[in-house]
Amino acid sequence: MSSRTTSINCPLAGFAIATAGWILCVTCMGLVEWRVWHMNSTSFWEPSPISVGMWKVCVYRHVSYFDRARLCYPYTYGDTFLPLNIHVGQHLLLAASILGLLGKVCIVFALRKLSIVILGRKVICNPFAVAGILNMAAGMCILITVIWNHKSVMNGEGISFPLSFHIPLKPDWQEIGNTMLVAYLAAFLMLLSVLFHLRFQCPMPNQVQPEASET
């Protein structure tokens, strides 16, 4: 009984880690602070930060000394002004959220079978292997998106937003936002969960051993 409980603990830990990574992935999709632009004060622009996200850009305006308003402009898939790293990142994050969800479904299915009865190696191991592959693909999608956007920040790349946005082509300087750190953590957790799924050793069906009779 103890060996069976130990064998279940490994995929349970992987499931918990993958769930945390998937939640962070979905969360960072809705956050806007992927890249933070900073402008020096000019006659046409006040020194307020600009948050550039995957699906919108937000401009912060000071309405008083203590308060500031946020004005956001959402993107659409047909926007041609967006750079390739954002266009591809949108699709990769959507793919990561779907792959992560499918991975969770596979783990739940496998855990349910494992908790009811110890089945053969083919029946039990396949869902865990599939979940590991799905989570690995999801983690790589997130990681590619984050590294690509991180590289854009390091290179100081700009975005030619429409004139109606009233946003300059390039900032005076920019930095990575908190959302990018969340995405890094999401990718790490998704990839970490793969280790728990792949190292899981499926228990073999119980076999009845004949008892030796005493003479």
What is the number of domains present in the chain? 1
Q: What's the CA gap between 15 and 55, in Å, rounded?
A: 29
Would the pTM count as exceeding 0.85? no
- With respect to residue 178, please indicate whether it lies within any of the assigned structural domains: yes
Q: For the segment 125-151, what is each residue's pLDDT rounded down to a tens digit?
A: 567 788 889 999 999 999 999 999 999
Please tell me whether residue 130 adopts helix, strand or coil conformation: helix
The domain in which residue 134 lies consists of 2-32+76-198
- With respect to residue 45, please indicate whether it lies within any of the assigned structural domains: no
- With respect to residue 137, please indicate whether it lies within any of the assigned structural domains: yes
- Domain of 152: which CATH number? 1.20.140.150
Alpha helices in the chain (DSSP H): 2-30, 84-116, 121-154, 178-198
Q: Would you state the pLDDT for residue 48?
A: 76
Cβ neighbours, 10 Å, residue 202:
19
Q: Residue-wise pLDDT tens for the chain (215 aa)?
A: 444 545 567 778 888 999 999 999 999 998 999 999 988 765 456 667 899 999 999 988 766 556 667 889 998 878 889 999 999 999 999 999 999 999 988 888 877 766 554 444 445 556 778 888 999 999 999 999 999 999 999 999 999 999 888 888 888 889 999 999 999 999 999 999 998 877 765 554 444 444 444 54
Q: What's the CA gap between 6 and 11, in Å, rounded?
A: 10
- With respect to residue 150, please indicate whether it lies within any of the assigned structural domains: yes
- With respect to residue 210, please indicate whether it lies within any of the assigned structural domains: no
- With respect to residue 46, please indicate whether it lies within any of the assigned structural domains: no
